[in-house]
């Protein structure tokens, strides 16, 4: 019977690998089901008919945004919100193009130039500088390449006054396709829908995991009471999620998600795969920086689950049995995620892209593996700077 031993060993190895991957899949599926249920339960917010009494300071950190900053400032000037209660502050981060010149063309916009040049997180420093100069009770941050509907600020202030929240995360979507690869654009939209759905679901359940600095609001008092970005200012990214966790620790239960189509901020999609990967590596770089280690474990689960696809692909060159497992896992992963992503896509009116969801799975799996690894061990370039 000795000649059967190698066969039995290979069989056992296959079963062990299949069992481990099955456990990852079950855990991942339960996580997606949890997010889907929470997203659907999260209520749509309707503006409360309360008179606006809160002064708002909108802070924009800008670096070399001559192509975008004018469009954003125009949309801010067109907000259906009392101008006497609205302050717009642009903090220029060492721009070398016409950004400053364009900002100066908008009367009433406060322009501040960032002086510090020996720091690792320029955006955090820019926001901190803007908050220090702000006279508003409520700070709203967005990015220089964004635009918003006319009721954007009104919706945020309405929730702020009605709920007593000290930190509000709101939805972000990609602007309609304009240039670059349509494949890249479609992929980014679907990938971003997942992130937005998780944002809304997790904040609704008060299991905070993520938010997006393109559409945030927090009271100036809350920001100052946690010493702003102190303690996280050495981390290149995290001006949104890491700050949210700091504020939540000081003000538990005071974080809200504004689930309203009128509160959506639209940002530009990346136009090249290189810039897309740099952005995602930047986002992934803070994965192990959270005090709440449950978030790290969830991210680790997602990473290991996606890594199992690569292991099956490689193992298939020795035994095609693993490729059957790979195809089966691809199909079941899509089925588990489809309902969740579809419900988020309906909110953002992007259902037409769901027909590509199955076929874009390999790209999503690949980028998750690469960006996750480089976010921890690599470097990336952002706004013309090399960042550790």
Question: Which band of pLDDT confidence, cut at 50, 70 and 90, is reported for residue 82?
Answer: very high
Question: Which band of pLDDT confidence, cut at 50, 70 and 90, is reported for residue 67?
Answer: very high
List the structure tokens of 277. Answer: 């990967």
pLDDT in tens, 164-209: 999 999 999 998 887 778 999 999 999 999 999 999 999 999 987 7
CA angle 290, 386, 144 (to 5 degrees): 75
Angle between helix axes 321-347 and 293-315 (nearest 10 degrees) is 140
Question: Is 135 a residue whose pLDDT tops 70?
Answer: yes
CATH 3.90.550.10 fits 56-270, yes or no: yes
Which pLDDT score, from 0 to 100, does residue 3 have?
A: 45
Rounded average pLDDT over 146-153: 94
Enumerate the CATH 3.90.550.10 domain ranges in the chain, comma separated. 56-270
As a whole number of angstroms, the distance between CA 154 and CA 80 comes to: 7
Question: Is 48 a residue whose pLDDT tops 90?
Answer: no
For residue 111, the SS3 value is strand
Question: Is 233 a residue whose pLDDT tops 90?
Answer: no
Which pLDDT score, from 0 to 100, does residue 235 have?
A: 75
Question: Which band of pLDDT confidence, cut at 50, 70 and 90, is reported for residue 4?
Answer: very low
Which residue is it, tokens 């689950």?
Answer: 305
Question: Which band of pLDDT confidence, cut at 50, 70 and 90, is reported for residue 141?
Answer: very high
Which pLDDT score, from 0 to 100, does residue 10 have?
A: 67
Give the number of C-alpha atoms closer than 13 A to the C-alpha of residue 226, restricted to the C-beta side.
24
Main-chain phi, psi angles of 172, to 5 degrees: -130, 140
Which pLDDT score, from 0 to 100, does residue 180 have?
A: 76
Closest-CA residue to 209 (of 320, 141, 95, 286): 286
Rounded average pLDDT over 91-116: 92
Which pLDDT score, from 0 to 100, does residue 130 have?
A: 95
List the structure tokens of 240. Answer: 């949104």
**Whole-number percent of the chain with pLDDT over 70:** 89
Question: Which bin fits 57, alpha (ψ -120 to 50), beta or left (φ > 0)?
Answer: beta
Which pLDDT score, from 0 to 100, does residue 370 have?
A: 87
Write down the mean pLDDT value for the chain: 88
Contact between residue 213 and residue 239 where contact means Cβ atoms under 8 Å apart:
yes
pLDDT in tens, 234-244: 776 778 888 99
Rounded average pLDDT over 216-228: 95
Which pLDDT score, from 0 to 100, does residue 322 have?
A: 85
Measured in whole angstroms, how far is the alpha carbon of residue 320 from the centre of its chain?
38
* Helices marked H in the chain: 5-41, 69-77, 99-103, 122-133, 152-163, 182-204, 220-225, 241-250, 273-284, 293-315, 321-347, 361-377
Closest-CA residue to 280 (of 163, 135, 199, 382): 382
Which pLDDT score, from 0 to 100, does residue 20 have?
A: 86
Which pLDDT score, from 0 to 100, does residue 118 have?
A: 62
pLDDT in tens, 304-343: 999 999 999 998 888 888 899 899 999 999 999 999 999 9
As a whole number of angstroms, the distance between CA 32 and CA 357 comes to: 16
pLDDT in tens, 359-388: 999 999 998 898 888 876 666 555 555 555
Which pLDDT score, from 0 to 100, does residue 377 have?
A: 64
Rounded average pLDDT over 277-299: 73
**Whole-number percent of the chain with pLDDT over 90:** 63
């Amino acid at each position: 019977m000795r000649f059967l031993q190698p066969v039995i060993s290979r069989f056992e190895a296959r079963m062990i690998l299949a069992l481990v991957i099955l456990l990852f899949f079950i855990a991942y599926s339960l996580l997606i089901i949890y997010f889907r249920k929470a997203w659907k339960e999260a209520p749509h917010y309707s503006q409360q008919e309360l008179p606006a009494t809160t002064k708002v300071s909108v802070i924009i950190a800008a670096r070399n945004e001559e192509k975008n900053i004018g469009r954003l400032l125009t949309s801010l000037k067109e907000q259906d919100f009392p101008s006497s209660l609205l302050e717009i502050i642009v903090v220029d981060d060492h721009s070398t193009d016409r950004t400053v010149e364009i900002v100066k063309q908008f009367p009433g916009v406060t322009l501040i130039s960032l002086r510090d040049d020996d720091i690792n997180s320029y955006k955090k420093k820019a926001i901190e500088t803007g908050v220090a100069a702000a006279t508003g009770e409520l700070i709203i941050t967005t990015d220089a390449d964004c635009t918003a509907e006319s009721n954007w600020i009104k919706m945020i202030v309405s929730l702020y006054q009605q709920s007593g929240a000290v930190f509000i995360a709101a939805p972000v979507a990609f602007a309609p396709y304009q240039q670059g690869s349509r494949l890249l654009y479609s992929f980014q939209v679907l990938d971003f829908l997942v992130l937005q759905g998780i944002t809304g679901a997790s904040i609704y359940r008060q299991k905070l995991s993520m938010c997006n600095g393109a559409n945030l609001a927090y009271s100036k008092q809350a920001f100052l009471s946690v010493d702003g970005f102190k303690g996280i200012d050495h981390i290149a990214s995290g001006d949104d999620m890491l700050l949210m966790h700091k504020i939540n620790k000081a003000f538990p239960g005071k974080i809200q998600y504004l689930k309203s189509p009128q509160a959506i901020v639209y940002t530009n999609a990346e136009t090249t795969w290189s810039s897309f990967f740099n952005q995602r590596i930047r986002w992934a770089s803070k994965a192990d920086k959270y005090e709440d280690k449950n978030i790290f474990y969830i991210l680790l689960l997602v990473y290991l689950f996606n890594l199992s696809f690569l292991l099956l692909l490689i193992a298939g060159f020795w035994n095609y049995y693993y490729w059957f497992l790979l195809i089966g896992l691809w199909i079941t992963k899509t089925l588990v995620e489809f309902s969740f992503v579809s419900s988020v896509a309906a909110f953002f009116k992007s259902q037409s892209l769901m027909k590509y969801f199955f076929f874009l799975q390999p790209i999503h799996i690949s980028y998750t593996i690469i960006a996750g690894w480089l976010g921890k061990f690599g470097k990336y370039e952002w706004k013309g700077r090399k960042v550790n």
